[in-house]
Amino acid sequence: MDFPKITRRTFLQASAGTTAAAALAPRMLHAMENELGGKDFSPVTAAERKAIPVNCHVCNIQDGAIAYVENDRVVKLEGNPEHVSTRGRLCAKGNSGMWYSYDPDRILYPLKRVGARGEGKWKRITWEEALTEVAAKLDAALKEDPNTIMLKYGRNRTGGTIDRFMKTLGSATVLNHTSVCESSKKVGQEPTWGPDIETPDFANAKYVLNFGSNILEAAYFHNPLSQRIAEGRVDNHMKIVTFDVRLSNTAGFSDEWIPVFPATDGAVALAIGHVILREDLQDSAFIDTWTNVTVDELKAHYAQYTPEWASKISGVPVQTIERIAREFATTKPATLFTYRGPAKHLYGSYNEKACMMLPIMTGNVEKRGGYCLPRGMGWPQPNPQPPGPKHDSVLAHPPEYPLASHKVSHLVPFWIAEGRQKINVAFTYQDNPVYTNPGAQAVWGKLYRDEKLIPYFISMSSHMGEETALADIILPDCPYLERWEPESMPNSLWPWLGIRQPVHKSLGESRENRVLLRDIIWKLDPDGSRGMKQFWAFKDGEDYMRHHFDNVPGLKEAGGLDFLKKHGVWPIYGTLDPKTGKVTDKTGREIQAEYGLYRKELSAADMEGAMVDAHGLITKNGKAIGIRRNGRNYVGFPTPNRVINVRVDEWAEYGFNPMPTFKRIPWHETMKDDEMILSTFKLNVHKQSRTAAVKWLAEIAHSNPAWMNPETAKKLGVKTGDLVRVESPVGYLVTKAYVTEGIHPQVISIATGFGHWEYGRLATLKLKDRKGDASHGEEDPDLNNVWWDDKGVHPNAIIPAVADPIGGSQGWYDTVVKVTKAGPNDKYGDIHGDWDKHYAAYKETMRYAYTGDLHRKMHPEMAAWAGPESVKPKASGGH
Ligand SMILES: Nc1nc2c(c(=O)[nH]1)N[C@H]1C(S)=C(S)[C@@H](COP(=O)(O)OP(=O)(O)OC[C@H]3O[C@@H](n4cnc5c(=O)[nH]c(N)nc54)[C@H](O)[C@@H]3O)O[C@H]1N2
Ligand SMILES: Nc1nc2c(c(=O)[nH]1)N[C@H]1C(S)=C(S)[C@@H](COP(=O)(O)OP(=O)(O)OC[C@H]3O[C@@H](n4cnc5c(=O)[nH]c(N)nc54)[C@H](O)[C@@H]3O)O[C@H]1N2
Ligand code: SF4
Ligand SMILES: [Mo]
């Protein structure tokens, strides 16, 4: 792929902002369908196309979409103009979503492996045969121990069905993908203010600090937030400062790009806080009223984090830190956004916490243009509900990581290999760790190939991803345009409920997941005597949705599920004005969000029978319901003590610093001159492992040369297009160089999403490899038109497992590598990853867990810490 050439650009400044902003101005984006209020017509017959609203699921932002259908075929996808967050627009990936349905290599029938695991030989079987076999395996496993049944999911938007399935079986061995995603961001935030994410009010902000989020290309809420950030930039003359190791399109769109040294955002954020407090620019009333520390305590604590200290670590000049601190504290309203840049490191939770302190200490929380709490909506689960499992699972809640409330699933292969827990049956659902996790093929690939460790492996996938290729049996799920799912995402300042509904008949014999899981349970408990069937008493996906939506107050009166089937989203806040791109009320004025959620006052009825303690905490029937401040009763923040916990006492229980702090990555401190940090990033038109087979997107971007700075390239004697060898402690790869000033000189960065060895013919570029077993979709003549022969090189095999001892996150951006010009025996695409070396890296990272020997070394300030009496696993969530 060709990246745009950057001509003259000084290293510390980015000036592309103004033009980029103009190109993005929402008022210039007119979709014809929006002008017509969501209608569309066939250009051939002029007949109106069927317009069916859904929520997009190409990525996890769940934008509101409309599928335009002719003769049961989706001909176009556009944004739903009634959707308050999406406002009638989808990104390129969302526009291409029908290629999940029409991928010619999609799996359409249940398949059983013949031949060795991973050999690629399959036999088509009937659903009856498939369900009978799966039920028999589950039955045997249940007799031994329900926890020997493992289910690992990636993107799970079933709205509770997967949990219901595992609870019905009585197994706690449920794993997710959150530790390779953003878990340390979540764990950095949750104990501090309650939720696991913020909603920045970009449209109304005057100043934005962006730490490591690629809002315009990836990031959570990428489509809704890019619209708002363009509005703030153009209409509100907001200033944006982006910290990133590389010049992402978001950094290019910003007023300033600060190329920070990897993993040091926390130090910069602490130093910005130091200047704010030193110069008395903080919001003292907010700190004293709404947090669990005083201004004096904060000042005393921050005194150590000088700009000089942070500058040495991060490479950001002292004057820059001081100037940004003053600008941020004195420009109101201001907001901050982070995503995976600061979080995906050994001490990612500390980084996130240090960043979120800036809007807190300046009182920008829950204000118009500020840093707001997320707004979401829930739905009830069908009754009766299965009880939870009897015993916890050591794989789901490892005792070494008691604070990692979103699990540490990327370490599980090592734990299974060590015999921590026996597995009889493993399910995979929308998850591809064999490609997406550290070690990739060399770690999860090795585990899933091992029939002793994983005796029976079931994939519930629609596509032949790298993990599904290793399965014993495939139960084909429906892609998102063929299934029912409840939805809600806090992706703008207005809460909403939405659905996915089938927009065309499902192809082949694929079955949507909730029906597929029901059928497994019905097979296991045909007459209900095992007590399982009662939890799965629904006719089909639509019937299941009625249980969720027909009794939600407000929605019920509007028509419940029938309203959602027609509109795709509820509530509808106003009408999209296609000229401005904004949602307006009946008078034509833009709708306004509600702010100050924590300041909502409790009613007299709420206070009846309530008690108030010495700290002002208001409890009723043993539950905290609010906080009394200055004689008034507020709901406060959704934390147990209803205020913002700048000091997180629970962290101290395990020997971590409860106050905002920073820890350097020890192996970064000892880097040699010829070593660099390997970083990765996401590209705007691709989504993780799952879009490489989407032909429109693959044509736009199909390979991923390694970004490196001209200074670095010169030292190595390398120019764009030359082969380089990138060697880490666990393996090496050979790829092409892309030389650009838009990257920190000590960083080499490789995009993810390329270099597949499975996922069908287009992703692997094995175009003639059609398996003639009639188990796939209809042939696509465009496969004869593929003009590129470079599929890219996937970096994950050479990235070792790292786990944040607090948040459990994989340290994707921490790997020290040696980069050299490729030698005569190196070939493009060579990849070597080694289990033994990955295993050694896993052992090393566990030494940082609170139970490990390096933990105390990293926390000398906690010298007096005696350690908890016993290891206490905590409850967990997922996403
Ligand atoms: N197009 C597209 N959109 C997506 C996705 C996708 O695959 N493709 N995936 C979705 C998902 S699941 C997620 S979790 C989000 C992720 O959204 P983001 O977190 O916004 O995206 P990433 O590319 O993971 O990382 C963001 C940036 O962090 C930078 N970075 C790396 N190390 C550091 C560091 O130490 N400090 C700083 N400041 N920056 C650093 C990278 O160069 C990158 O530009 O995106 C979602 N949206
Ligand atoms: N180096 C590096 N690696 C990364 C990241 C990084 O920044 N750097 N980012 C990470 C992030 S943020 C995340 S969230 C993870 C994501 O990691 P995963 O959740 O493992 O990956 P996905 O690519 O989202 O999809 C997984 C699988 O879902 C299946 N699938 C696709 N559509 C459907 C469907 O409709 N139904 C069913 N049942 N299955 C389907 C496909 O087989 C696909 O392979 O990757 C991580 N990997
Ligand atoms: S950002 Fe794009 S792919 Fe993701 S939900 Fe929105 S439209 Fe779909
Ligand atoms: Mo993610």
Residue-level pLDDT at 578: 84
Domain count, the chain: 4
Residue 20 covered by a domain: yes
Preceding peptide of 384 cis, ω within 30°: yes
Residue 689 covered by a domain: yes
Q: What is the mean pLDDT of residues 175-187?
A: 98
**Cβ contact 760:105 at 8 Å:** yes
Tell me the C-alpha distance between 40 and 92, whole Å: 19
Contacts of 559 (CB under 8 A, 6+ apart): 566
Q: Return the percentage of the chain with pLDDT > 70, whole number.
A: 95
* Same domain (yes/no): 699, 756: yes
On the question of pLDDT at 854 being above 70, the answer is yes
Q: Identify the domain containing residue 300 by its residue range.
A: 198-372
Distance 815 CA to ligand 3 centre (A): 30
* Same domain (yes/no): 207, 347: yes
Tell me the C-alpha distance between 349 and 343, whole Å: 6
Check if 697 has its Cβ closer than 6 Å to any atom of ligand 3: no
On the question of pLDDT at 845 being above 70, the answer is yes
Q: What is the mean pLDDT of residues 824-838?
A: 97
On the question of pLDDT at 12 being above 80, the answer is no
CATH code: domain of residue 266: 3.40.228.10
* Same domain (yes/no): 627, 723: no
Tell me the C-alpha distance between 690 and 762, whole Å: 12
Preceding peptide of 333 cis, ω within 30°: yes
Residue-level pLDDT at 425: 98
Tell me the C-alpha distance between 273 and 359, whole Å: 10
Which one of the ligands is nearest to 220 CA? 1
Which one of the ligands is nearest to 686 CA? 1
Residue-level pLDDT at 1: 38
Smallest Cα–Cα separation from 354: which of 301, 402, 407? 301
Residue-level pLDDT at 179: 98
Residue 404 covered by a domain: no
Cα 655 from chain centroid (whole Å): 28
**Cβ contact 125:134 at 8 Å:** no
* Same domain (yes/no): 605, 680: no
Helix (H, G, I), strand (E, B) or coil at 185: helix
Distance 571 CA to ligand 3 centre (A): 20
On the question of pLDDT at 20 being above 90, the answer is no
Nearest atom, ligand 3, residue 95 CA: 7
Residue 757 covered by a domain: yes
* Same domain (yes/no): 706, 617: no
DSSP conformation letters of 792-852: ----GGGPPP-B-TTT--B-TT-EEEEEEE--TT--TT-EEE-HHHHHHHHHHHHTTSTTS
Residue 701 covered by a domain: yes
Residue-level pLDDT at 100: 93
Residue-level pLDDT at 549: 96
Q: What is the mean pLDDT of residues 469-485?
A: 98
Residue-level pLDDT at 775: 66
Q: Which two tokens stand for residue 350?
A: 């500390």
* Same domain (yes/no): 285, 243: yes
* Same domain (yes/no): 631, 758: no
On the question of pLDDT at 17 being above 90, the answer is no
Q: What is the mean pLDDT of residues 767-782?
A: 75
Task: Give per-residue pLDDT as tens, 187-220.
Answer: 999 999 999 999 999 999 999 999 999 999 998 8
* Same domain (yes/no): 618, 692: no
Predicted confidence band of residue 30 (pLDDT cuts 50, 70, 90): low
* Same domain (yes/no): 321, 240: yes
Residue-level pLDDT at 233: 93
Task: Give per-residue pLDDT as tens, 541-588.
Answer: 999 999 999 999 999 999 999 999 999 999 999 999 988 899 999 999
Ion ligand 4 — residues with CB < 5 Å: 181
Residue 447 covered by a domain: no
Contacts of 816 (CB under 8 A, 6+ apart): 667, 668, 671, 675, 676, 677, 678, 728, 729
Q: What is the mean pLDDT of residues 508-520?
A: 97
Residue 839 covered by a domain: no
Q: What is the mean pLDDT of residues 122-146?
A: 98
* Same domain (yes/no): 210, 354: yes
Residue 455 covered by a domain: no
* Atom 1, ligand 3: residue with shortest CA distance: 223
Distance 503 CA to ligand 3 centre (A): 17
- Lowest-pLDDT range of 763-767, 782-786, 871-875: 871-875
Tell me the C-alpha distance between 516 and 157, whole Å: 15
Tell me the C-alpha distance between 702 and 695, whole Å: 10
Write down the mean pLDDT value for the chain.
Answer: 93
Nearest atom, ligand 2, residue 688 CA: 23
Distance 178 CA to ligand 2 centre (A): 11
Nearest atom, ligand 2, residue 796 CA: 1
* Atom 45, ligand 2: residue with shortest CA distance: 436
Query: Rg for the chain (alpha carbons), in Å?
Result: 26
Predicted confidence band of residue 221 (pLDDT cuts 50, 70, 90): confident
Q: What is the mean pLDDT of residues 702-731?
A: 98
* Same domain (yes/no): 633, 742: no
Helical axes 513-524 vs 161-169, angle rounded to 10°: 10
Could you say which of 337, 372, 407 is where a domain stops?
Answer: 372
Nearest atom, ligand 3, residue 62 CA: 5
Contacts of 319 (CB under 8 A, 6+ apart): none
CB atoms under 10 Å from CB of 98, counted, come to 22
Check if 223 has its Cβ closer than 6 Å to any atom of ligand 3: yes
**Cβ contact 430:437 at 8 Å:** no
Q: What is the pTM of this model?
A: 0.95
* Same domain (yes/no): 247, 348: yes
CATH code: domain of residue 799: 2.40.40.20
Smallest Cα–Cα separation from 379: which of 56, 159, 54, 82? 159
Nearest atom, ligand 3, residue 86 CA: 6
Residue in the structure block whose two tokens are 């830190």:
321
